[in-house]
């Protein structure tokens, strides 16, 4: 997880062993042969390999290695340029996937995409595409939503109906109006979010342009608006003033957050992606089950995810491409995987087949899968760039200095620009 306050973190989704479902072997292009060396930072691909892929590809030997996310790039970078000691298959986290997609060191898998593109969501492939060629594909989609407490919606809006609640959050200016409403109606006890950092990914996805256009740094108006809105929320105490992933952030989910004076603080909502429901809310606030619902919120966005790429030096190209095809596109496998893990997949055929069967008790019976399926359609995957992680680190520092009153907005942005341009030569 990120330690910088205003940078979008990526939760490591650790899934327990998933029993193979009947039919998960179907749809393969042949078992293939040889040995595949796979490097990853979670056990997701290990579960896929051991419980599904090997059953339908018995002729392929798999050597799987898992390294913690914060050490993963240091392991990859020395070997990928030459291929000496490099793996065949590489799992790529959202935070650094574009670094490798743009590197020229990954295998071109455009043919895998072209053979399956009619059934795939757009944005995951857009993230893995560079100069018209595909170098990374993902089995999952991670659109984000706004999760809110039903009891607080009833208390302050008179209803917890998602369609009605969404009208209070149709855009970011409306969010500010509603934040004030919540504060006023609660006599100061209810905040719209526990941390302004929760809004970061929404604004990043609301941009029209990425950070770098034609070799020059671009500060999109959406990011300037982000500064203004966060400063307003902070100064008016319309947010909980806790750091994302902090003890206070989690306390707010359970209804246990208190301010500096020890007064209880009600947190109305959290901005989280698909995995946030299962691995953040459910695990950290189990006693609140049934008291949540989800809406699109002010802007479509994405957060996190894992892509699969391959070394361009691999000597087993056919087996590599078949593995990627299988885990990122195969209908039967992904249906079994989605049902076993609860993961939001990127295969539209599978989504349409299973989406209407869900009723999530934690969300008061709401069909989260169908809701996320709609949200995923609006995500723009073309905004991600290889330099994002470093640039966003600098932006986070500028943001903190502004919101804490150490610099004016103009000073913070000027310092951010000079630091980013000095570091990236733009």
What's the whole-number mean pLDDT along residues 16-24? 34
Residues ≥6 apart with Cβ < 8 Å to 349: 119, 331
Q: What are phi and psi of 63, to 5 degrees?
A: -110, 110
Give the per-residue pLDDT at 34: 81
Q: Provide, rounded to the nearest whole percent, the portion of the chain with pLDDT above 90.
A: 88
Query: 76-90, 229-243, 412-426: lowest mean pLDDT where?
Result: 412-426
> By mean pLDDT, which of 6-20, 290-304, 311-325, 403-417 is the weakest?
6-20
Q: What is the pLDDT of residue 31?
A: 44
Asked if residue 30 has pLDDT above 90, the reply is: no
Percent of all residues in the chain with a pLDDT value above 70, rounded to a whole number: 92
Q: What is the pTM of this model?
A: 0.87
Say what the pLDDT of residue 426 is. 58
pLDDT tens digits, 371-402 = 999 999 999 999 999 999 899 999 999 999 99
pLDDT of residue 9: 34
| pLDDT digits 0-9 by tens, 205-214 | 999 999 999 8
Q: How far apart are CA 125 and CA 141, in angstroms?
A: 10
The stretch 46-50 carries a mean pLDDT of 96
* pLDDT computed for residue 118 by the predictor: 97
What strand order describes the sheet that includes 190-193?
190-193, 266-273, 144-149, 292-295
Domains annotated on the chain, with CATH: 34-142+303-361 (3.40.190.10), 144-299 (3.40.190.10)
User: Closest by alpha carbon to 122, among 295, 332, 302?
Assistant: 302
pLDDT of residue 425 exceeding 70 = no
> How does the average pLDDT of the chain come out, rounded?
91
Q: pLDDT at position 314, please?
A: 97
3-state secondary structure the chain: CCCCCCCCCCCCCCCCCCCCCCCCCCCCCCCCCEEEEEEECCCHHHHHHHHHHHHHCCCEEEEEEECCHHHHHHHHCCCCCCCCCCCCEEEEECCCHHHHHCCCCECCCHHHHHCCHHHECHHHHHHCEECCEECCECCECCEEEEEEEHHHHHHHHCCCCHHHHHHHHCCHHHHHHHHHHHHHHCCCCEEEECCHHHHHHHHHHHCCCCCEECCEECCCHHHHHHHHHHHHHHHCCCECCCCCCCHHHHHHHCCCCECCCCCECEEEEEEEEHHHHHHHHHHHCHHHCCCEEEECCCCCCECCCEEEEEECCCCCHHHHHHHHHHHHHCHHHHHHHHHHHCCCECEHHHHHHHHHHCCEHHHCCECHHHHHHHHHCCCCHHHCCCCHHHHHHHHHHHHHHHHCCCCCHHHHHHHHHHHHHHHHCC
Structure tokens given for 103: 């590197």
């Amino acid at each position: 997880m990120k330690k910088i306050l205003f940078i979008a973190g990526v939760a490591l989704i650790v899934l327990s062993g998933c029993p193979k479902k009947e039919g998960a072997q179907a749809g393969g292009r042949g078992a293939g042969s040889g040995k595949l060396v796979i490097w990853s930072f979670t056990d997701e691909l290990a579960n896929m390999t051991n419980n599904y892929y090997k059953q339908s590809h018995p002729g392929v030997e798999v050597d799987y290695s898992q390294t913690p996310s914060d050490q993963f790039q240091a392991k990859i970078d020395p070997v990928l340029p030459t291929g000496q000691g490099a793996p065949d298959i590489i799992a790529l986290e959202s935070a650094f996937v574009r670094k490798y997609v743009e590197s020229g060191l990954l295998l071109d898998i455009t043919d895998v995409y072209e053979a399956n593109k009619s059934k795939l969501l757009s944005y995951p492939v857009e993230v893995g595409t560079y100069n018209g060629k595909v170098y990374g594909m993902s089995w999952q989609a991670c659109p984000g939503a706004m999760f809110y407490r039903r009891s607080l919606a009833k208390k302050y809006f008179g209803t917890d109906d998602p369609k009605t609640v969404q009208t209070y959050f149709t855009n970011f200016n409306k969010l500010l109006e509603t934040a004030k409403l919540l504060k006023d109606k609660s006599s100061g006890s209810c905040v719209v979010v526990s941390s302004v950092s929760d809004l970061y990914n929404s604004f990043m996805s609301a941009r029209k342009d990425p950070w770098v256009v034609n070799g020059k740094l671009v500060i999109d108006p959406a990011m300037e608006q982000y500064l203004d809105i966060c400063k307003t929320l902070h100064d008016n105490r319309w947010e909980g003033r806790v750091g994302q992933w902090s003890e206070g952030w989690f306390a707010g989910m359970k209804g246990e957050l208190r301010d500096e004076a020890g007064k209880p603080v009600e947190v109305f909502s959290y901005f989280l992606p698909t995995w946030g429901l299962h691995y953040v809310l459910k695990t950290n606030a189990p006693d609140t089950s049934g008291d949540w619902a989800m809406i699109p919120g002010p802007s479509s966005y994405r957060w996190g995810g894992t892509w699969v790429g391959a070394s361009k030096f691999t000597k087993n190209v056919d087996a590599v491409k078949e593995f990627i095809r299988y885990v990122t596109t195969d209908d039967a496998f992904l249906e079994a995987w989605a049902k076993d893990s609860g993961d939001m997949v990127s295969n539209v055929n599978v989504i349409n087949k299973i989406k209407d069967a869900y009723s999530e008790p934690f969300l008061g019976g709401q069909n989260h899968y169908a809701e996320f399926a709609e949200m995923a359609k609006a995500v723009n995957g073309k905004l991600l760039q290889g330099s994002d992680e470093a640039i966003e680190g600098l932006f986070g520092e500028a943001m903190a200095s502004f919101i804490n009153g150490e610099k004016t907005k103009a000073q913070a942005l000027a310092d951010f620009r000079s630091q980013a341009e000095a570091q990236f030569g733009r």
